[in-house]
Amino acid sequence: MCANKEITPSLNPSVHSLVSVILKNEYQANTRISLVSSENVLSPLARIPYLLDIHSRYYLDDIRRFGKWLFPNGEVVENIEDVYLVPLLKELTEASYVNVRPISGMNCMTVALAALTKIGDTVLAVPLENGGHFSTSVIAERFGLNVTYIPFMNAYDVDYDALELILKEKKPALIYVDHSVFLFPLNPKPIRELIDAFSPETILYYDTSHTNGLIIGKALENPLNNGADIIGGSTHKTLPGPHKGFLSTNNQVLDKIIKEKANHFVSHHNPASSLSLAITLMEMKYCQGTKYAKTIISNSKTLAKTLDQQGFYVAAKERDYTQNHQIWAYPNQHYNIEDYIKKLCTLGIVTNRFDALPGIHQPAFRLSLAEFTRYGGTNEDAILLGELMSDVLHLDHLNNQAHDKMKYLKNKIKYPQYCFSYEDISANDEFSDLKNLFTVLKDLMSTIN
């Protein structure tokens, strides 16, 4: 829907045409605002590992698995993970044990289902109509598991009386809270209480893919402190890191089981992503990550309220709209959603369309202000964004005024914030080695000549 025909490569591809596509996409990225809830943007520093030699190296955790180095270039990766990445994740997720082998949120799901169940077990997941992940049942059934669903009373709330009956009858091996489309994160505490009372062998896994940045930034409660046995998921949504995943737990036995399975479901995992994630976590810790996380929710509520005032239907108004980065909305008046999406895209606003969201049985938008906030967007900017989205709805054709408003807004939120800046690096002696790093990058580019 947002594809620009100008960046379509020729039928006779060449290096020139490939580079042209890349550069035009980069130009578009610098002129658009993405409201897609599964996306965010890396800081400049966190992008650098993908340009370096470490990106090409192989790491299998040789010493632990084989007792000797089979791939010696992996030693530096082990140092990065053991000294930086794992301790940071333990600290920021408040976990005793962390596994960083998964390469995505889906990979976390696969490893967890393989490790925590056996063929014939029952697994409870979130129903699709309540925002569960569309792949959970497919993967679980392929593993020979019996899938049933956490009962809900409405679009948002678990039916705990019905859940109690399921726990008594089915004694599931695993409750997998796989929420991916939601406004209000489920509280694991009442689920934990029911498990302890009626099915104590059941393991409670809480997928935090969408909320990792909000949890690490203290804007949401950590499910590990509220009843979950394990949390895990992707690192590129509200957590503005690379496309990767992790699993955290305070249970040593579960950690051992996961580690054993992860060894086989993930062999080499991209060392550049490990380094990029370590940098991202340092930035969350030292560059106002708490403010970033809280501002995401504040901005989201502000945009939701603004859209509501501008004549949009916005879900859960009676609950203050949302308690994370997601907003569900659609224009109240008659409109052609295809035309509206196209006009938004033409202006530079990229949205995530759903034909059905929980409790909404018509095409609507799942919007997110995570990336918007990462670029430094404020409540004031969120109001301007909502007004601009309303302007687009009411215009037959985009005019200069709409384009000028968009340019003004994008220029305000042009560069990633809540990360190490050039000024930080220049003023701090601890960053002196970065000058050498940029020399390395300069030398790397010179090899193209």
Domain membership flag for residue 18: no
User: pLDDT of 117-148, one tens digit each?
Assistant: 999 999 999 999 999 999 999 999 999 999 99
Distance of CA 404 to the CA centre of its chain: 31
| CA-based end-to-end distance of the chain | 38
Name, in order, each residue with C-beta under 8 angstroms of 143's C-beta and a sequence gap of 6 or more: 113, 114, 117, 119
Domains contained in the chain, number = 2
Residues 110, 68, 272, 13, CA torsion sign? negative
Q: What is the pLDDT of residue 445?
A: 63
User: Torsion over CA of 238, 244, 250 and 253, rounded to 10 degrees?
Assistant: 150
Q: How far apart are CA 126 and CA 159, in angstroms?
A: 12
Listed ranges 50-64, 364-378, 420-434; the one with the highest mean pLDDT: 364-378
Answer for the pair 102, 266: CB distance below 8 angstroms, yes or no. yes
Q: What is the pLDDT of residue 409?
A: 97
Q: What is the pLDDT of residue 67?
A: 80
Answer for the pair 263, 65: CB distance below 8 angstroms, yes or no. yes
- In this structure, the strands spanning 97-99 and 245-249 are antiparallel
Are residue 234 and residue 337 in the same domain, yes or no?
no
Are residue 166 and residue 246 in the same domain, yes or no?
yes
Are residue 195 and residue 55 in the same domain, yes or no?
yes
Domain membership flag for residue 16: no
Are residue 268 and residue 406 in the same domain, yes or no?
no
Q: How far apart are CA 184 and CA 157, in angstroms?
A: 9
Please name the residue that has the structure tokens 């036995």: 253
Domain membership flag for residue 26: no
Are residue 257 and residue 353 in the same domain, yes or no?
no
Q: Is the pLDDT of residue 21 over 60?
A: yes
Domain membership flag for residue 421: no
Q: What's the mean pLDDT in 212-220?
A: 98
Domain membership flag for residue 13: no
Band of residue 1 on the pLDDT scale cut at 50, 70, 90: low
Are residue 323 and residue 209 in the same domain, yes or no?
no
Q: What is the pLDDT of residue 333?
A: 73
Angle (CA) 302 305 311, round 5°: 140
- In this structure, the strands spanning 326-331 and 312-314 are antiparallel
CATH code of the domain containing 256: 3.40.640.10
Is pTM beyond 0.85? Reply is yes
Answer for the pair 46, 26: CB distance below 8 angstroms, yes or no. no
Q: Is the pLDDT of residue 230 over 60?
A: yes
Average pLDDT over the chain, rounded to an integer: 91
Residues 380, 386, 392, 394, CA torsion sign? negative
Domain membership flag for residue 5: no
Q: What is the pLDDT of residue 114?
A: 96
Q: What is the pLDDT of residue 12?
A: 61
Answer for the pair 280, 217: CB distance below 8 angstroms, yes or no. no
Are residue 325 and residue 238 in the same domain, yes or no?
no
Last residue of a domain, which of 286, 317, 335? 286
Residues 419, 422, 427, 428, CA torsion sign? positive
Q: What is the pLDDT of residue 439?
A: 66
Are residue 322 and residue 399 in the same domain, yes or no?
yes
Q: How far apart are CA 148 and CA 126, in angstroms?
A: 9
CATH code of the domain containing 316: 3.90.1150.10
Last residue of a domain, which of 286, 318, 349? 286
Angle (CA) 329 387 185, round 5°: 35
Last residue of a domain, which of 286, 308, 340? 286
Are residue 311 and residue 220 in the same domain, yes or no?
no
Q: How far apart are CA 124 and CA 137, in angstroms?
A: 9
Q: Is the pLDDT of residue 447 over 90?
A: no
User: pLDDT of 30-46, one tens digit each?
Assistant: 899 999 999 999 999 99
Are residue 96 and residue 211 in the same domain, yes or no?
yes
Are residue 278 and residue 295 in the same domain, yes or no?
no
Percent of residues, the chain, with pLDDT higher than 70: 91
Name, in order, each residue with C-beta under 8 angstroms of 248's C-beta and a sequence gap of 6 or more: 89, 90, 93, 95, 97, 98, 99, 224, 230, 231, 232
Domain membership flag for residue 431: no
Alpha helices in 81-120 (DSSP H): 86-93, 105-116
Are residue 185 and residue 321 in the same domain, yes or no?
no
Identify the domain containing residue 169 by its residue range: 47-286
User: pLDDT of 153-211, one tens digit each?
Assistant: 999 999 999 999 999 999 999 999 999 999 999 999 999 999 999 999 999 999 999 99
Domain membership flag for residue 372: yes
Band of residue 323 on the pLDDT scale cut at 50, 70, 90: very high
Q: How far apart are CA 164 and CA 198, in angstroms?
A: 7
